[in-house]
Amino acid sequence: MATLSELRETRPIVFDVQRTDVSIQAKFRTHYWSLFHNIPALYSALLTGLGEFGVTPHGIRSDVADGSLGAYNVNFWMLNFRALVRIRLEQIEVQSNNITQSDVEPLERAFVRLTEALAGSTSDFALSSYAVDVGLHGQPTGVDPKDYLATFVRTRPRLPGPYTGSGVVFYFGEDAATMVRTLTADLSGLLPDKLYVRVFSLYKETVHPHMLRSAVEGHVRAALQSIGLETADR
Protein backbone atom coordinates (compact mmCIF):
# COMPACT_ATOMS: atom_id res chain seq x y z
CA MET A 1 0.00 0.00 0.00
CA ALA A 2 1.26 3.48 -0.89
CA THR A 3 2.32 5.74 1.95
CA LEU A 4 0.71 9.15 2.56
CA SER A 5 3.86 10.80 1.22
CA GLU A 6 3.62 8.78 -2.01
CA LEU A 7 -0.10 9.52 -2.37
CA ARG A 8 0.52 13.25 -1.88
CA GLU A 9 3.06 13.19 -4.69
CA THR A 10 0.87 11.24 -7.14
CA ARG A 11 -2.52 12.90 -6.73
CA PRO A 12 -3.75 16.01 -4.88
CA ILE A 13 -5.51 15.74 -1.55
CA VAL A 14 -8.70 17.79 -1.45
CA PHE A 15 -8.29 20.60 1.06
CA ASP A 16 -11.65 21.52 2.61
CA VAL A 17 -11.05 25.19 3.45
CA GLN A 18 -13.17 26.29 6.40
CA ARG A 19 -11.72 29.74 7.02
CA THR A 20 -9.88 32.20 4.77
CA ASP A 21 -8.14 35.39 5.95
CA VAL A 22 -6.67 37.93 3.53
CA SER A 23 -4.40 40.89 4.24
CA ILE A 24 -3.22 43.41 1.63
CA GLN A 25 -0.59 46.10 2.19
CA ALA A 26 -0.09 48.39 -0.80
CA LYS A 27 2.89 50.70 -0.43
CA PHE A 28 2.91 54.21 -1.90
CA ARG A 29 5.82 55.15 -4.14
CA THR A 30 5.98 58.49 -2.32
CA HIS A 31 4.39 59.52 0.96
CA TYR A 32 0.65 60.10 0.74
CA TRP A 33 0.58 63.67 2.04
CA SER A 34 -3.10 64.13 1.19
CA LEU A 35 -3.68 62.32 4.46
CA PHE A 36 -2.76 65.62 6.14
CA HIS A 37 -2.72 68.41 3.56
CA ASN A 38 -5.79 67.73 1.41
CA ILE A 39 -8.28 66.19 3.78
CA PRO A 40 -11.47 67.46 2.07
CA ALA A 41 -10.35 65.99 -1.26
CA LEU A 42 -9.44 62.68 0.40
CA TYR A 43 -12.72 62.30 2.25
CA SER A 44 -14.75 63.39 -0.76
CA ALA A 45 -12.99 60.79 -2.93
CA LEU A 46 -13.58 58.04 -0.37
CA LEU A 47 -17.27 58.84 0.09
CA THR A 48 -17.90 59.16 -3.65
CA GLY A 49 -15.92 56.15 -4.71
CA LEU A 50 -16.74 53.74 -1.88
CA GLY A 51 -20.33 54.60 -1.01
CA GLU A 52 -21.68 51.44 -2.62
CA PHE A 53 -19.43 49.41 -0.31
CA GLY A 54 -20.93 50.92 2.84
CA VAL A 55 -18.48 53.77 3.51
CA THR A 56 -20.27 56.75 5.12
CA PRO A 57 -19.21 59.94 6.95
CA HIS A 58 -20.11 58.27 10.26
CA GLY A 59 -17.83 55.31 9.51
CA ILE A 60 -14.61 57.16 8.67
CA ARG A 61 -12.34 57.70 11.68
CA SER A 62 -8.84 58.98 12.32
CA ASP A 63 -6.47 57.30 14.76
CA VAL A 64 -3.40 58.98 16.23
CA ALA A 65 -2.22 55.69 17.81
CA ASP A 66 1.09 56.45 19.59
CA GLY A 67 1.12 60.03 18.34
CA SER A 68 3.85 59.51 15.74
CA LEU A 69 3.53 60.54 12.12
CA GLY A 70 3.85 56.97 10.88
CA ALA A 71 1.21 55.61 13.23
CA TYR A 72 -1.46 58.15 12.26
CA ASN A 73 -4.12 56.63 9.99
CA VAL A 74 -7.59 57.11 8.58
CA ASN A 75 -9.65 53.93 8.89
CA PHE A 76 -13.09 52.59 8.03
CA TRP A 77 -14.99 49.37 7.42
CA MET A 78 -16.29 48.24 4.04
CA LEU A 79 -18.67 45.51 2.91
CA ASN A 80 -20.75 45.37 6.10
CA PHE A 81 -17.72 45.03 8.37
CA ARG A 82 -16.12 42.35 6.20
CA ALA A 83 -13.04 44.45 5.41
CA LEU A 84 -11.14 46.97 7.55
CA VAL A 85 -9.15 49.65 5.69
CA ARG A 86 -6.36 51.77 7.12
CA ILE A 87 -4.73 54.54 5.09
CA ARG A 88 -1.31 55.51 6.42
CA LEU A 89 1.35 57.89 5.20
CA GLU A 90 3.32 55.02 3.64
CA GLN A 91 0.71 52.42 2.67
CA ILE A 92 -2.87 51.18 2.42
CA GLU A 93 -3.83 48.23 4.62
CA VAL A 94 -6.88 46.06 3.97
CA GLN A 95 -7.71 43.22 6.37
CA SER A 96 -10.56 40.80 5.72
CA ASN A 97 -11.06 37.80 8.00
CA ASN A 98 -13.17 34.68 7.59
CA ILE A 99 -14.26 35.60 4.08
CA THR A 100 -16.36 33.35 1.84
CA GLN A 101 -16.20 32.81 -1.90
CA SER A 102 -19.08 35.26 -2.34
CA ASP A 103 -16.97 37.97 -0.64
CA VAL A 104 -14.11 37.75 -3.14
CA GLU A 105 -15.65 39.63 -6.07
CA PRO A 106 -16.94 42.61 -4.04
CA LEU A 107 -13.65 42.73 -2.11
CA GLU A 108 -11.75 42.91 -5.39
CA ARG A 109 -13.99 45.70 -6.71
CA ALA A 110 -13.74 47.61 -3.44
CA PHE A 111 -9.93 47.43 -3.43
CA VAL A 112 -9.69 48.65 -7.02
CA ARG A 113 -12.16 51.46 -6.29
CA LEU A 114 -10.19 52.39 -3.16
CA THR A 115 -6.97 52.84 -5.15
CA GLU A 116 -8.87 54.86 -7.76
CA ALA A 117 -10.34 57.10 -5.06
CA LEU A 118 -6.92 57.78 -3.57
CA ALA A 119 -5.45 58.43 -7.01
CA GLY A 120 -8.21 60.98 -7.62
CA SER A 121 -7.30 62.98 -4.52
CA THR A 122 -3.69 63.75 -5.48
CA SER A 123 -1.70 64.27 -8.66
CA ASP A 124 1.33 62.16 -7.71
CA PHE A 125 -0.37 58.96 -6.53
CA ALA A 126 1.44 55.71 -7.34
CA LEU A 127 1.89 52.31 -5.72
CA SER A 128 5.27 50.60 -5.54
CA SER A 129 4.39 47.09 -4.29
CA TYR A 130 1.64 44.90 -2.83
CA ALA A 131 2.16 42.48 0.05
CA VAL A 132 -0.66 39.92 0.04
CA ASP A 133 -1.01 37.41 2.88
CA VAL A 134 -3.55 34.60 2.43
CA GLY A 135 -4.26 32.22 5.32
CA LEU A 136 -6.29 29.05 4.75
CA HIS A 137 -7.55 26.89 7.62
CA GLY A 138 -9.22 23.57 6.93
CA GLN A 139 -9.14 19.81 6.68
CA PRO A 140 -7.17 17.74 4.16
CA THR A 141 -9.82 15.19 3.21
CA GLY A 142 -9.22 11.76 4.68
CA VAL A 143 -5.92 12.74 6.26
CA ASP A 144 -4.98 13.78 9.79
CA PRO A 145 -3.20 17.17 9.54
CA LYS A 146 -0.39 15.92 11.80
CA ASP A 147 0.19 12.94 9.52
CA TYR A 148 0.13 15.19 6.47
CA LEU A 149 2.73 17.55 7.97
CA ALA A 150 4.88 14.61 9.01
CA THR A 151 5.49 13.83 5.31
CA PHE A 152 7.60 17.02 5.16
CA VAL A 153 9.39 16.63 8.50
CA ARG A 154 10.71 13.09 8.73
CA THR A 155 12.99 13.51 11.75
CA ARG A 156 11.73 14.97 15.01
CA PRO A 157 14.01 16.48 17.68
CA ARG A 158 14.32 14.62 20.95
CA LEU A 159 13.26 17.01 23.68
CA PRO A 160 11.43 16.65 27.01
CA GLY A 161 7.65 16.58 26.83
CA PRO A 162 5.19 15.04 24.37
CA TYR A 163 5.68 15.67 20.65
CA THR A 164 2.58 17.52 19.35
CA GLY A 165 3.31 18.13 15.67
CA SER A 166 5.43 19.97 13.12
CA GLY A 167 5.28 22.66 10.46
CA VAL A 168 7.28 23.81 7.45
CA VAL A 169 8.12 27.09 5.69
CA PHE A 170 9.39 27.34 2.10
CA TYR A 171 10.97 30.49 0.66
CA PHE A 172 11.05 31.54 -2.99
CA GLY A 173 12.88 34.38 -4.71
CA GLU A 174 11.99 36.83 -7.45
CA ASP A 175 10.00 35.89 -10.55
CA ALA A 176 8.15 37.90 -13.21
CA ALA A 177 5.41 39.15 -10.86
CA THR A 178 6.81 38.87 -7.34
CA MET A 179 9.87 39.91 -5.39
CA VAL A 180 9.54 37.22 -2.72
CA ARG A 181 7.10 34.48 -1.71
CA THR A 182 6.78 32.19 1.28
CA LEU A 183 4.64 29.10 1.73
CA THR A 184 3.83 27.83 5.21
CA ALA A 185 2.09 24.60 6.25
CA ASP A 186 1.34 24.13 9.94
CA LEU A 187 -1.36 23.23 12.42
CA SER A 188 -4.07 25.88 12.66
CA GLY A 189 -4.00 28.11 15.71
CA LEU A 190 -7.65 29.10 15.15
CA LEU A 191 -9.41 25.83 14.29
CA PRO A 192 -8.49 22.87 16.53
CA ASP A 193 -6.91 19.87 14.79
CA LYS A 194 -7.01 21.55 11.36
CA LEU A 195 -4.33 22.39 8.80
CA TYR A 196 -3.11 25.94 8.20
CA VAL A 197 -1.61 26.96 4.87
CA ARG A 198 -0.25 30.48 4.46
CA VAL A 199 0.78 31.99 1.12
CA PHE A 200 2.60 35.32 1.33
CA SER A 201 3.56 37.16 -1.87
CA LEU A 202 5.22 40.53 -2.41
CA TYR A 203 4.09 41.74 -5.83
CA LYS A 204 5.87 44.26 -8.04
CA GLU A 205 4.28 47.56 -9.07
CA THR A 206 3.69 46.14 -12.56
CA VAL A 207 0.84 44.10 -11.08
CA HIS A 208 -1.84 46.79 -11.16
CA PRO A 209 -4.78 46.70 -8.70
CA HIS A 210 -7.19 45.22 -11.28
CA MET A 211 -4.68 42.40 -11.93
CA LEU A 212 -4.04 41.55 -8.29
CA ARG A 213 -6.87 39.07 -7.70
CA SER A 214 -5.92 36.97 -10.71
CA ALA A 215 -2.25 36.95 -9.67
CA VAL A 216 -3.06 35.99 -6.07
CA GLU A 217 -5.50 33.23 -7.01
CA GLY A 218 -2.98 31.77 -9.45
CA HIS A 219 -0.21 31.80 -6.86
CA VAL A 220 -2.40 30.27 -4.14
CA ARG A 221 -3.55 27.51 -6.48
CA ALA A 222 0.02 26.77 -7.55
CA ALA A 223 1.22 26.84 -3.94
CA LEU A 224 -1.38 24.29 -2.87
CA GLN A 225 -0.59 22.05 -5.81
CA SER A 226 3.10 22.20 -4.96
CA ILE A 227 2.41 20.60 -1.57
CA GLY A 228 -0.08 18.05 -2.89
CA LEU A 229 -3.33 19.89 -2.14
CA GLU A 230 -6.24 21.28 -4.13
CA THR A 231 -9.40 23.03 -3.02
CA ALA A 232 -12.80 21.47 -3.58
CA ASP A 233 -13.95 24.41 -5.77
CA ARG A 234 -10.98 24.14 -8.19
Boundary-marking domain end, from 110, 125, 140: 125
Do 64 and 20 reside in the same domain of the chain?
Answer: no
Do 34 and 20 reside in the same domain of the chain?
Answer: no
Nearest CA to 97 out of 23, 24, 25 is that of 23
Do 135 and 223 reside in the same domain of the chain?
Answer: yes
Domain-embedded: residue 42: yes
At 154 the pLDDT is 80
At 76 the pLDDT is 98
Domain-embedded: residue 215: yes
Task: Please state, in angstroms and rounded to a whole number, the distance separating the CA atoms of residues 129 and 115.
Answer: 13
Do 7 and 37 reside in the same domain of the chain?
Answer: no
Domain-embedded: residue 144: yes
Domain of residue 68 covers 30-125
At 7 the pLDDT is 57
Nearest CA to 220 out of 209, 234, 206, 207 is that of 234
Do 107 and 81 reside in the same domain of the chain?
Answer: yes
Do 94 and 145 reside in the same domain of the chain?
Answer: no
Domain-embedded: residue 159: no
Nearest CA to 74 out of 82, 65, 129 is that of 65
Domain-embedded: residue 158: no
Taking a C-beta distance cutoff of 8 angstroms, is the pair 22, 134 a contact?
yes
Do 19 and 34 reside in the same domain of the chain?
Answer: no
- Look at the chain and report how many structural domains it folds into: 2
At 58 the pLDDT is 96
Do 44 and 134 reside in the same domain of the chain?
Answer: no
Do 103 and 182 reside in the same domain of the chain?
Answer: no
List b or e across 46-60, with b for residues whose CB sees 16 or more CB atoms inside 10 angstroms.
Answer: bbebbeebbbeeeeb
Do 1 and 74 reside in the same domain of the chain?
Answer: no
Domain-embedded: residue 139: yes
Do 136 and 222 reside in the same domain of the chain?
Answer: yes
At 61 the pLDDT is 95
Do 121 and 137 reside in the same domain of the chain?
Answer: no
Domain-embedded: residue 180: yes
Residues of the chain with pLDDT under 50: 1-2, 234
Domain-embedded: residue 15: yes
